[in-house]
Amino acid sequence: MGGTFSISERRRLRRGELGARHQRVPEVAILGAHKIVDRPVVKNGQIVIAPMMNTVIGFDHRVIDGEMAVKFPRRVRAAREAPELLWFYA
């Protein structure tokens, strides 16, 4: 209660649309994370099976610039893929 940012699981809303769950007012942003599943991906020119997780961010445009909101999930992804990089963000 009283937070300005939430992390929540994602749920299916309708026909392929995924959204964040439990949006609370006056949240400035909410990061939704879906479950990790094995999917085919291309790594080093080869198709391999890798664990993948989709994320989505919803934010209040009156408070957060769109460019900043797009960069945040990218940094979360980089930190999840290479946690040793967190030393550089501190």
Active site residues: 61, 65
**Residues 20, 32 contacting (CB under 8 angstroms):** yes
Q: What is the 3-state secondary structure (H, E, C) of 23-68?
A: CCCCCCEEEEECCCEEEEEEECCEEEEEEECCEEEEECCCCCCHHH
- Give the total residue count for the chain: 90
